[in-house]
Amino acid sequence: MHRLCILTFATLFLLLTSCQSPVNQDQQNVQADLSPALQLCRNNPRYLEYKGEPLILITSAEHYGAVLNLDFDYRLYLETLGNEGFNYTRIFTGTYIEPVDNIFGIQKNTLAPMPGSYLAPWIKQNDSYDLERFNPDYFIRLKDFIQEAEKQGIVVEVTLFTSIYAENSWKLCPFNSINNINMVGDIPFQRVNTLFNGGLQTYQEKFIRKIVSELNDFDNVFFEIQNEPWSDNGCLGTYVNEEDDSVFSRPWQKKVEVANRVAMDWQGWVAGVIREEEEKLPKKHLIAQNICNFQFDLDTLPQGIAIVNFHYALPGAVQMNLDLGGVIGLDETGFMPHEDALYIDQAWRVILSGGGLYNNLDYSFTSSTEAGDWNIPESNPGWGGKAFREKLSILVETINMVPFYEMEFSGTILDAGKGNLKQYGLKKEGEIYLIFVENLKDAELIPQVPPSSYEVSFIKVDTGDKNTETVLLGNEQAITSPFAGDRVAVLIRKSE
User: What confidence tens digit (pLDDT) does each residue in 135-191 have?
Assistant: 999 999 999 999 999 999 999 999 999 999 999 999 999 999 999 999 999 999 999
Which phi and psi angles does 310 have, rounded to 5°?
A: -120, 150
Q: What is the mean pLDDT of the chain?
A: 93
Percent of the chain with pLDDT over 90: 89
Residue 40 has pLDDT above 50, yes or no: yes
- 193 contacts: CB under 8 Å, gap ≥ 6: 161, 163, 226, 229, 232, 233, 263, 266, 267
Q: pLDDT value at position 102?
A: 81
Mean pLDDT of 375-393: 97
Mean pLDDT of 194-200: 96
In the structure, what pLDDT confidence band is assigned to residue 420 with cuts at 50, 70 and 90? confident
For 18-27, write each residue's pLDDT tens digit.
333 334 444 3
For 204-259, write each residue's pLDDT tens digit.
999 999 999 999 999 999 999 999 999 999 999 999 999 999 999 999 999 999 99
For 41-65, write each residue's pLDDT tens digit.
999 999 999 999 999 999 999 999 9
Residue 1 has pLDDT above 50, yes or no: no
CATH class of 3-405: alpha beta
Q: pLDDT value at position 302?
A: 76
For 351-380, write each residue's pLDDT tens digit.
999 999 999 999 999 999 999 999 999 999
- Say how far apart CA 438 and CA 352 lie, in whole Å: 12
Residue 28 has pLDDT above 80, yes or no: no
Task: Identify whether the C-beta of residue 463 lies closer than 8 Å to the C-beta of residue 387.
Answer: no
- Say how far apart CA 368 and CA 110 lie, in whole Å: 10
Check if 3-405 and 408-494 are the same fold: no
In the structure, what pLDDT confidence band is assigned to residue 34 with cuts at 50, 70 and 90? low
What is the edge-to-edge ordering of all strands in the sheet holding 452-459? 408-410, 422-428, 432-438, 487-494, 452-459, 466-473
- Say how far apart CA 61 and CA 392 lie, in whole Å: 12
Task: Identify whether the C-beta of residue 93 lies closer than 8 Å to the C-beta of residue 159.
Answer: yes
Residue 32 has pLDDT above 70, yes or no: no
Residue 140 DSSP symbol: H
Percent of the chain with pLDDT over 70: 93
Instruction: Read off the amino acid at residue 400.
Output: N
**CATH architecture of the domain covering 408-494:** Sandwich (2.60)
Integer CA distances (angstroms), 348 to 381, 424, 436, in order:
21, 8, 7
For 100-146, write each residue's pLDDT tens digit.
988 899 999 999 999 999 999 999 989 999 999 999 999 999 999 99
pTM of the model: 0.93
Task: Identify whether the C-beta of residue 164 lies closer than 8 Å to the C-beta of residue 173.
Answer: yes
Query: What residue ranges do the domains of the chain occupy?
Result: 3-405, 408-494
